[in-house]
Structure 1
Amino acid sequence: MTLNVIGVFNDAWKLWKRDRELLIGVAGFFLFVPQLALKLFVPLPPNLPDFGEAAKVRAWVDAAESWSSQYSLIVILLWLVTLFGSLAVFTLYLDPDRPEARRALARALWLSPRFLLLTILVALPVQFGLIFLLLPGFYAQGRLLVALPAGVAEQPQGALASISRSLALTRGHGMVLAGMGCLVLLAGDLLSRPFIAMGKMLGGAPMANPVVAGLLDTAAAMGVAVALLGGILIQVALYRRLVSSRGI
């Protein structure tokens, strides 16, 4: 059995075209605003040093501790808002009760603790795979790509059951979904990186323009938000196709 990847992307695009006004409202507030706040108010953590030089390592540790003490709490809060926004979009499409927008937000709030646990459990193998070798991370992302949709659609299923469900639905499509997982993981970085690079160039100029810098940060945040929303719609479309094709 082959997976129609183009069909998945077409399905996601149809969801966007049909519901774009609703999605702009939800994603604008819960996906774009946190990303914009992150760009505007949280500086990047210090770059890793050359670990062959002890003095530079000590200086980096001090700088990293200082950054963490100042910004870690706001980063976590903004991440939780983004997570809630993602869950709200999943709920709009996959909750068994098919709630309208206001009820979807309430349902998302109720599901948040379980969804948070599931998100962490999905992220662990993906991040470990990316740290050691890129391909295992992308493969893990692909095989777990429908764990979050399954967790919403098949309530009251727990986090581990949702992961098992994703592994069952994606069996036989590992390498194809690894490519899709790679796209979902990297799309935000790819869309925002040109604006971030331009912002760094501007920040290093003798007379940096804060208005232009703010516009670049806004564009970068918008790129990340678009990628996040696109990834969610792809996961929704993929889950529906896999369930329909496997009948399980």
Structure 2
Amino acid sequence: MGDAWKLWRSDWEVLTAVAGMFVFLPALAKAQLIPDWPMPPQGATLTPGTPAADAFGESMASWLGHYGWGLALVAALASFGQFALVALYLSGDRPPASRALIAAARRFPTLILAWLIVMIPLTLIGTIVALAPILLPAFAVLFFWILARTATLAPVLFAEAPIGAWRALIRSLHLTRGNTLALAAAIMTVFLVASIASWPFQALDAWMAAHAPNPVARTMAEAFVALLTALDYIAMAVLQVAAYRRIRAR
């Protein structure tokens, strides 16, 4: 965490410029243009086959049909932005932002493939958890364990290129062995700080949407949420770089 903080202090201008373009602006556009997903009726039991469950499923499918592509685009841009931040440090001898963006664009498909390998079993487990909510704590532990063990995935794709998706995953698992708890604690810290800091603005935005619609005030609240999202992605990027450098230096 200390090493990540030093990177932020020395390079905050370029970090915020890249994150502002690829994380902040898409996150703000999402808040402005994509409505919240449908919520089930209060007190309704969503038992499969019941009218309430069928109606909720139809509304969710309709919402995904209209806005799913937008969510996917925002997620892809944010992931690319974070990947480019890692490239600023590990794609050569401190390249300028333009070269880091080009390097990130070249390696981004490999990162997507690696994450697809990870997400397929995780999605299956998440489906099981949805059917048995009692397993949610175990799923949360598994989720942060995976984030910790893949914390050096993006750095490996740059620092040890050329390397494929599967080999990069195996390499990340090897590097993070014995460091899982420390990495998980650092990642959870970033996650919790970002969640707690953004919660008041999200709650205010939701309250204004329901009781006192004010476009200017809502835009300000949504801009603060987008700003905190960008800072979260910056923190995760410099944490990955710091973790990789610290582990390799041992």
TM-score band, normalised by shorter chain: 0.7 to 0.9
The match for 1:146 among 131, 146, 152 is 152
Contact 1:96-1:154 at 8 Å conserved across structures: no
The match for 1:171 among 173, 177, 181 is 177
Q: Secondary structure at the match of 1:172?
A: coil
In structure 2, C-alpha distance between the alignment counterparts of 1:175 and 1:124, rounded to whole Å: 24
For structure 1, the 5+ residue unaligned runs are: 1-8
Matches within 5 A, 1:1-248: 9-48=1-40, 50-52=45-47, 54-124=50-120, 131=129, 132=135, 133=138, 134-205=140-211, 207-245=212-250
Deviation of 1:224 after TM superposition, in Å, equals 1.1
In structure 1, C-alpha distance between the alignment counterparts of 2:155 and 2:232, rounded to whole Å: 17
Tell which has more relative contact order, 1 or 2 (C-alpha 8 A, sep 6+). 2
TM-score w.r.t. the length of structure 2 is 0.86
Deviation of 1:171 after TM superposition, in Å, equals 1.1
Deviates more, 1:38-47 or 1:112-121: 112-121
Contact 2:19-2:234 at 8 Å conserved across structures: yes
Deviation of 1:14 after TM superposition, in Å, equals 0.9
In structure 1, C-alpha distance between the alignment counterparts of 2:54 and 2:70, rounded to whole Å: 25
RMSD of the TM alignment (CA)? 2.0
Contact 2:30-2:74 at 8 Å conserved across structures: yes
Deviation of 1:185 after TM superposition, in Å, equals 4.5
Distance 1:187 1:100, change over 3 A: same
In structure 1, C-alpha distance between the alignment counterparts of 2:191 and 2:118, rounded to whole Å: 13
Equivalent pairs counted in the alignment come to 236
Q: Secondary structure at the match of 1:208?
A: coil
Contact 1:188-1:228 at 8 Å conserved across structures: no
Contact 1:88-1:104 at 8 Å conserved across structures: yes
In structure 1, C-alpha distance between the alignment counterparts of 2:147 and 2:240, rounded to whole Å: 11
Aligned to 1:4: none
Deviates more, 1:110-119 or 1:224-233: 110-119
Distance 1:169 1:91, change over 3 A: same
Distance 1:127 1:52, change over 3 A: closer
Deviation of 1:137 after TM superposition, in Å, equals 1.7
